[in-house]
Amino acid sequence: MTRSLRALPKAHLHLHFTGSMRITTLRELADKHGLRLPAALLQDWPPRLRATDERGWFRFQRLYDTARACVRDESDMRRIVREAAEDDAAEGSGWLEIQVDPTSYAPFVGGITPAIEIVLDEARAASRETGAQVAVVVAASRTRHPLDARTLARLAGQYAGDGAGTVVGFGLSNDERRGDTAEFGKAFQIAAKAGLASVPHAGELLGPSHVRDALDHLTPDRLGHGVRAAEDPAVLDTLVRRGVTLEVCPASNVALGVYDELSQVPLRQLVEAGASIALGADDPLLFGSRLLAQYESARDDHGLSDEELAALARSSIRGSQAPESVRTRLLADVDAWLASPQKI
């Protein structure tokens, strides 16, 4: 006997803008702009990926770039934000932090400032109308120069806030094997001075040493992924002691070849070590599953009880940048979910 995981209130802290797209939306945007999609995004979707080597990452990135190229005007951008909010609300997420690098869309809307303002404006509208509150994380790319990251950090700081429709965090994404983590430290200092949370990616494609680098140079409040910390008890202990939330994305871990099966993701090990965990979908467009499926995997592949699943949901809420009033409401709703009768 179990409770509905769709009804479990939760926060979603690891969702990329382009990667959040519905596959049907991508296909419609491609038709709209007269662009051709590869078979992996048509009849062979979801694609078979493995990004643990250079060739595999190149294929993953090429598909991602293909999808990104289909987003070519303001209405496209607004649609992605709106549908992400709708999909999250339908799966029980009351707070979403969607991650975007405005650089990618700037050429189509007049610059990085209009790009981020479009996303924020639609986030405010979607928050009023969908049932999910939507905030934004601005993310720099490891494949670009660290000075570009500083520019984005300053831009993000101009829109810093603590509620829906504001920028609440600053991230660093793309291939962990690119760039020198330490060289991005200044950008994160700029973001921190503006009151933004530090939420870089680390510890998925690379092991615990890269988690340590992020801890040393980027002072994270959360880590995108971080699952490879399970391979080094000292690093994992540091994460637990510092209260760094891990945005664990099981579907990504398996799709990119970090683990062969969902049951191999070290979720229970992280839970039992006392780590703060927020499950995330990362890039549903390429991985084929959204937030609810990550909770279902926690139940089905790792044997987490409803009490443990409720604890995961609470951890996601506490690890978020949601205002205290939103956190309090969502945490109370989790308690109510756990107090509800089980279903056969």
β-strands 222-225, 245-248: how paired?
A: parallel
Nearest to 327 by CA among 141, 95, 138, 153: 95
* Cα separation values, 123 from 55, 84, 171, 311, Å: 36, 10, 18, 27
- The three-point CA angle 116-117-118 to 5° equals 90
Contact 338, 306 (CB under 8 A): yes
**For 182, which DSSP code?**
G
Tokens describing residue 174: 């793309």
The residue type of 240 is: V
* Spatial separation of the C-alpha atoms in residues 241 and 109, rounded to whole Å: 43
Question: Which residues are annotated as catalytic?
Answer: 204
The length of the chain is 344
